[in-house]
Amino acid sequence: MPSLLSCSLQQSGPSRPICFSGQSTVRDPCRYCLRDEFTLAANCQPLPLSTATHCIELRRCSRLRYVDFSSNNLTGPVPALLGGCQRLTGIDLSHNKLQGSIPEQFGALLSLQYLSLSSNVLSGFIPRSLANCTSLNYLDLSMNQLTGQVSASLGSLKNMALFWAGGNLLSGGVPTEILYHPSLQSLNLSFNALSGSLPDGEVCSALQVLDLAANHLTGSLPTALISCAGLQFVNVSNNQISGSIPTQLSKLTSIRTIDLSSNNFNGQIPSEIGSLSNLSVLRLGSNPAVSGVIPPDIGKIVDLIILDLQKMDLQGGIPLALADCRFLLELDLSNNNLTGSIPASLTNATFLKSLDLEGNQLSGSIPEDLGKFSNLEHLDLSINQLSGEIPSALGNIETLVFLNLSYNRLSGLIPRNGALQRFNVSSFLGNAGLCGAPLGVSCSATSPIPSPQARRTHVLGASAIAAIVATAFIALGVVVIFVMNFRALRKMTEDRVFESTPPSPETNPILGKLVLFSKTLPAKYEDWEAGSKALLDKDCVVGSGTLGTVYKATFEAGVSMAVKKLETLGRIKNSEEFEEEIGRLANVRHPNVVAMQGYFWSPTMQLLLSDYIANGSLYDHLHQQDAGYGQLTWKRRFNIALGTARGLTYLHHDCRPQVLHLDLKSSNILLDHDFVPHLSDYGLSKLSPVLDTYVTSRRFYSALGYVAPEVACQSIRLSEKCDVYSFGVVLLELATGRYPVENAEADCILLCDAVRSALERGRGPTCIDPDLGPAAQLEVMQVLKLGLVCTSQTPSKRPSMAEVVQVLESIQSGNDM
């Protein structure tokens, strides 16, 4: 496999040159070019297959004005000797792999106006010496690993118009001198670890763009800040900012984007927002304490493109006035308490691409007029009280790629015309009155629709019965699992725990509580006595992971079960919290998800009981063939991808409350004898003793390879899009046969970065696992591209898992033709 391009930027020799060296078997080592006598630039051009070194003498750089080495593969430190080129006005080293700190010598560049070091791997503090660059007006340090605080001394740069340092590890507060800088037009400090309240100050006259998203900011929005008349873009999402949504926002007559989502705002949405005639994007969602009704005045914002009011406590109906927002592309009112019917007039927004009304109390029928949408791609009406038949007119929406009508009171035959033919059972679950394809239910066999309360009572009743029966055997639980004798109970001490290799049955037992979720498990004491011996036999160990050791327990009745002995309890300290965390998984049942069968709790030992899946993990079959695991054909790999996606879709969209995996990787995708995938270790994030390490250690996450960048940047907002990113890495793993992280000399290369780079250079086919052969290349390339979409850096650009399933099904059906 050819190594990736690795060029170094270094200092050497007495004549103080900058050297670019490329040692690679591919035809693109770094090459410089002098565009004119004032500009030095570099790009990657094909050169002969050899070690190439090119040096630029900087001993005589008195005429050099601009240095541009952006978008290469340069490594090593930023050359401090550039600080000796006194007439430099611009330095662009962005989008490389430069390491180390920012040279203090740059502070000597008094003529420097433009400095961009973004998208590298730079660390250390932002040098205070940059405050000496009195001509500096553009400073971009974003997407690195810079630490420390934002220095207030940068506020002395009287000409500074742009300061970007987002996507780092900066801490402390936002300096008043920066936030209210008199000439600053654009400030981006998003995706850091900034904390504290935003300071109040003098009204800023120049500020147009403010992005402080994904930090740990608290307090309320300062009056002075939201009085900056020139503001056009404000994003403070994913913080802990509180207070009411300020009515003063209505005075920002130039504002185009307001994003206050995922905070702790309360009160009501001010109707005054309706006066913002230039507003295009309004995101207020995920503020659960915001209540009241949706102000009809929002309909006056005729140029509104995106309206996000999800996950709040909004009541009342959907205002008819929203139909006046004719240019809407995205309308998200999901997970509120909205009532009434769906206004048919919404179809006036003819450009609408996404309509999400999931998780409300909407009633009535689905309007036939929704079939008039000609651009709609995403329609989610699930978890409401909609009734009647599904309009066949929905089949007229040829652009539709996602449809979810689950968990309503719909009835009748599911239409299978037009676009409706694309959707499978996951789009129609939980509607007992529906019949026909794809449910596979005859219309003559449908029964009356139970109420949500009745469904809830049935589920809870089954769980309660299991818990009551299990509780009755508390004393027997230990005897049942560990085959202990009662005489040893008197000698037990509360601090006794099992060692890594458990003691014999004749020594100190542990009294605890056994809860079983399934009636199919052995009920006789003798069966448990035989099966429990696995816990005392190291030969029955079948694996180990983050949570603990897994044993295979085989009962005399022929039933096998996986028993995970937790090595540590993570952040859960008592039985009530443990039972609540595990009990919510009792009813998780899906063909592609490992079923939880029960648990055992004592203060010193905790066990998780689940189905035993016999054919190893996806990781074993992809990467451990020397250990006896067989090669996977592309057909099997594709079916594993599709099954895994369906399992995740079930956890994200069909489980209430939603279940996040948060530890998805190929080793947690188990395969049965038919190579059907089963997701394991889902929904157990609170049991993980390393979760705190995950959200505080960027290096740990980056080395892991499966983890979404927003967690690495410490936004710590865990969402289903984290699972989508991890699934994207699994897709790339399936298509390439490579590890999610690989070592190249002294560097670590993420699989998603390597594949993305190859596709951008037109070398996508070289990424495909050579064991797959040429026959499946077209389908594999489609999966590769889907994997890259899933691993997008921005969570909002990643699809939902339901959309992923539909894309995979379209790939499958398209290649079956």
- Residue 121, pLDDT > 70, answer yes
Round to whole Å and give the CA distance between 711 and 694.
8
pLDDT at 521: 62
pLDDT at 765: 82
pLDDT at 338: 96
Which tens digit of pLDDT belongs to each residue from 445-485?
A: 544 444 433 333 333 333 333 333 333 333 334 333 333 33
pLDDT at 627: 57
Round to whole Å and give the CA distance between 58 and 79.
11
User: Where does the pLDDT of residue 13 fall: very low under 50, low under 70, confident under 90, or very high at 90 and above?
Assistant: very low
- Residue 578, pLDDT > 60, answer yes
Which tens digit of pLDDT belongs to each residue from 325-354?
A: 988 989 999 999 999 999 999 999 888 989
- Lowest average pLDDT, out of 297-311, 374-388, 459-473, goes to 459-473
- Lowest average pLDDT, out of 8-12, 239-243, 285-289, 775-779, goes to 8-12
Round to whole Å and give the CA distance between 683 and 599.
15
The CATH T-level fold of domain 452-611 is Phosphorylase Kinase; domain 1 (3.30.200)
CA quadruple 493, 494, 496, 502: dihedral positive or negative? positive
The pTM of this model reads 0.57
pLDDT at 579: 76
User: Where does the pLDDT of residue 202 fall: very low under 50, low under 70, confident under 90, or very high at 90 and above?
Assistant: confident
- Residue 518, pLDDT > 60, answer yes
Residue 51 or residue 107, greater confidence: 107
Residue 513 or residue 424, greater confidence: 424
- Residue 98, pLDDT > 80, answer yes
Sequence-ordered strand ranges (E) for 391-528:
402-404, 409-413, 433-435, 513-516
Residue 425 or residue 169, greater confidence: 169
At residue 460, the 3 state secondary structure works out as: helix
User: Where does the pLDDT of residue 74 fall: very low under 50, low under 70, confident under 90, or very high at 90 and above?
Assistant: confident
Nearest to 155 by CA among 178, 186, 132, 188: 178
User: Where does the pLDDT of residue 253 fall: very low under 50, low under 70, confident under 90, or very high at 90 and above?
Assistant: confident
User: Where does the pLDDT of residue 712 fall: very low under 50, low under 70, confident under 90, or very high at 90 and above?
Assistant: low
CATH code, 363-449: 3.80.10.10
Which tens digit of pLDDT belongs to each residue from 33-62?
A: 444 445 555 543 333 323 334 444 454 566
Q: Domain segments of the chain: what residues? A: 1-108, 363-449, 452-611, 618-816
Residue 594 or residue 442, greater confidence: 594
pLDDT at 813: 64
pLDDT at 695: 38
pLDDT at 83: 83
Q: Please, are residues 767 and 755 in contact by the beta-carbon 8 Å criterion? A: yes
DSSP conformation class of 653: I
Round to whole Å and give the CA distance between 53 and 69.
15
- Residue 555, pLDDT > 70, answer no
Which tens digit of pLDDT belongs to each residue from 751-786?
A: 888 888 888 777 778 888 888 876 677 788 889 989
- Residue 101, pLDDT > 90, answer yes
Q: What is the mean pLDDT of residues 725-751?
A: 80
- Residue 190, pLDDT > 70, answer yes
How do strand 281-283 and strand 541-544 relate by DSSP bridges?
unpaired
pLDDT at 320: 93
Q: What is the mean pLDDT of residues 723-742?
A: 90
Residue-level length of the chain: 817
User: Where does the pLDDT of residue 732 fall: very low under 50, low under 70, confident under 90, or very high at 90 and above?
Assistant: very high
The CATH T-level fold of domain 618-816 is Transferase(Phosphotransferase); domain 1 (1.10.510)
User: Where does the pLDDT of residue 87 fall: very low under 50, low under 70, confident under 90, or very high at 90 and above?
Assistant: confident
Residue 724 or residue 550, greater confidence: 724
Residue 682 or residue 817, greater confidence: 682
Residue 152 or residue 705, greater confidence: 152
Burial class of residue 302, CB neighbours in 10 A (0-12, 13-18, 19+): exposed
**Amino acid type, 258:** I
- Lowest average pLDDT, out of 77-86, 131-140, 643-652, goes to 77-86
Orientation of helix 751-760 relative to helix 720-736, angle to 10°: 70
pLDDT, averaged across the chain:
77
Distance from the Cα of residue 279 to its chain's centroid:
28
Nearest to 188 by CA among 158, 153, 150, 222: 150
Residues 6+ apart with CB under 8 A from 580: none
- Residue 502, pLDDT > 50, answer no
pLDDT at 636: 92
Q: How many CA atoms lie within 13 A of 685 on its CB side?
A: 17
pLDDT at 343: 94
At residue 338, the 3 state secondary structure works out as: coil
Residue 31 or residue 642, greater confidence: 642
